[in-house]
Amino acid sequence: MAVLSLLVAYLYLQRAYVEANYEFPPGKLLVIVGLAVVTLALRGMTNQVLFARLGANAPLRDWFAIVSVSALSSYLPASAGLVTKANYLKRVYSVPYRDFAVEQVALLLLGVATHGAVGLATLALWRPAAAGWIAAGFAAMSAAGCLVLLPHRAAQTARGRWLPLDEGTLDRLRGCTSGVIVLQIGVLLATASCLKLGFSMGPAEVSFAACMVFSAGSVLTRLVWITPGGLGVGEFLVGGLAVLAGYELRDAVIASFALRLAEIGVGVALGGVFSSRLAQRLAASPEKASIPRSSGR
């Protein structure tokens, strides 16, 4: 709660600055909301690609509903989004909790690695202040992908020691990593576009390349669960990167918070609509024993 309270207090202290320097055209706000919907669709496609490898062949409309409800539930305590998603997939599509956990870890590592690699590539074209420190962070993020992508003994040893994952499940997921990487880049671009629009409503002149870097770093919010949905963590993470790049903290926090409001609004609207539908589907699908999975051979 301390981070969330700090965010609320910080935004309250900036209210005079916002009133004097910011305009919020409805057209730009609608585009940000539209991009938030696109981001949900891309996440739904990512889940569809990964879970199809585990035997859960749900249509895209179902995955869009699942990620919408999960996005809404993520703002509840105790990782409610993950719990809701895992329970639904177990009951309706017979995805074992073990396979679900492996998929979530693999998706997290691939997402972090993809964002880190794109961040490094962007820094090769745009050299802000403290570029070396930012590049070091992106390099570490990129290395996380080795724990998923590399099948040889060294990677298996590292996974077994620090990240015990079922190798059979991981082998099946590894076959679709290229598609997941492409979709993660789409999520990054959508987030960067939202940040660019958020900055454009204020006095700061921030390039799209800078927004790409901020978007790439913001994925680390997924690793910090000290607030529901990473609320406050994401805003100050983007703000910290902005300060390192030579921009003002307050403009970055305000731009990031505008995106956050759009995400919450979309989550409430779509999650509220789809939650009753998924609840009906869940009630009609009594829990079944996990279906034995083939090794994929």
Which amino acid is residue 67, in one-letter code? V
Asked whether residue 274 is assigned to any structural domain, the reply reads yes
Asked whether residue 18 is assigned to any structural domain, the reply reads no
Q: Is the per-residue pLDDT at 289 higher than 70? A: no
Q: 280: which 2 tokens?
A: 């009906």
Asked whether residue 157 is assigned to any structural domain, the reply reads yes
**98: confidence class by pLDDT, cuts 50, 70, 90:** confident
On whether the CB atoms of residues 149 and 260 are closer than 8 A, the answer is no
Asked whether residue 125 is assigned to any structural domain, the reply reads yes
CA angle, 69 as apex, 66 and 72 as ends, to 5°?
A: 150
How many domains is the chain partitioned into structurally? Answer: 1
Q: Residue 201 is part of which domain span?
A: 24-283
Q: 30: which 2 tokens?
A: 């609608």
**What does R_g of the chain's alpha carbons equal in angstroms?**
20
pLDDT value of residue 143? 85
Asked whether residue 191 is assigned to any structural domain, the reply reads yes
Asked whether residue 118 is assigned to any structural domain, the reply reads yes
Residue 253: which of 203, 199, 212, 217 has the closest Cα? Answer: 199
Between 17-31, 91-105, 153-167, 209-223, the lowest mean confidence (pLDDT) is in 153-167
Asked whether residue 182 is assigned to any structural domain, the reply reads yes
Distances (CA, A) of 294 to 7, 155, 171: 48, 23, 12
Structure confidence by residue, pLDDT tens digits, 195-211: 999 999 999 999 999 99
CA angle, 93 as apex, 92 and 97 as ends, to 5°?
A: 100
pLDDT value of residue 296? 37
Asked whether residue 17 is assigned to any structural domain, the reply reads no
Helix (H, G, I), strand (E, B) or coil at 296: coil
On whether the CB atoms of residues 239 and 251 are closer than 8 A, the answer is no
CA distance 251 to 59: 40
Q: Is the per-residue pLDDT at 160 higher than 50? A: yes
pLDDT value of residue 104? 85
**22 sits in which H/E element:** none
212 or 6, which is more confident? 212
CA distance 177 to 203: 40
Distances (CA, A) of 56 to 29, 87, 115, 286: 36, 13, 27, 16
Q: Is the per-residue pLDDT at 286 higher than 70? A: no
**101: confidence class by pLDDT, cuts 50, 70, 90:** confident
- Show Cβ contacts of residue 62 under 8 Å, excluding neighbours closer than 6 positions: none
CA distance 296 to 56: 14
Q: Is the per-residue pLDDT at 157 higher than 70? A: no
**141: confidence class by pLDDT, cuts 50, 70, 90:** very high
On whether the CB atoms of residues 82 and 70 are closer than 8 A, the answer is yes
